[in-house]
Amino acid sequence: MVYVPLGFRYMDALRKGRPVHRRFDDFYIRHPFMDRGKRAKIFAPFDALAGFNEMILSKQTIYVKKEELSEDDSLKLDSRLDLLSRLIQNSNDARDRDIFITVTYFEPCTDISNEAYGSGGLYTEKSGRVIAVDTIFKILKVDSMKIDFGDIRSVDGKVFEEYGDNEAACHFSD
C-alpha cells in the first residue's frame, strides 16, 4: 500500500496507474520498448570534458631535475657500461650470455602543458635482458627500450658481482 500525502498534485495520474498500450497502436509505434541494455546507456555517466581527468592526474606527478653524478658514481657507471660493451659485442653475444640488468635512468617530462616540460622528469627503473651496447651512439638497449648513456643513473645486476666493479676485473678473456 502506498501512502500519499493529502493534496498530492498528481493523485489522478497515480490512480490511473501505468498506461497500457496495445501492440502497434500510435503510441507504441512512436515509442517502442527499449531493452534494458540500451536503456541503461541513457543513464550512464559521460566525460563532458574529455581528457580533463588525465590532465588533473598528470599535475599530481612530481617531476625532479636531472641530477649530476658524482665523480665516483660516474667512474663506476662508465666501468659497468664498458664491461657490458666488452661482454656483448654483437647480437649473438647478447643471446648467448643472456645478461639481465636493472637500469635506473632519467626520463624527461613529455607533457607539454606541464611546467616541468623541458626541465624536469622522472627517474625510472627498467629490468630486462641486455640486447646491445652501442658505444658509438652511446645507447644501451634493454629488451626493446633504448636508453641514452647520459640519462643513466645506475646499472645493477649479477654480472657485476661475477666480474667485479674495479678496472682490473674488467680485463678478461673469452
Give pLDDT tens digits for 150-169.
899 999 988 888 877 554 44
pTM of the predicted protein model: 0.61
Contact 102, 122 (CB under 8 A): no
Q: What is the per-residue pLDDT for 166?
A: 53
Give pLDDT tens digits for 49-107.
888 887 787 777 788 898 898 899 999 999 999 988 888 888 787 788 888 999 999 99
Would you state the cell numbers that stand for residue 157, as one nine-digit string? 645486476
Q: What's the Rg (C-alpha) of the chain?
A: 33
Taking the CB of residue 116, how many other CB atoms lie within 10 A of it? 16
Hey, where are the domains in the chain? 71-170
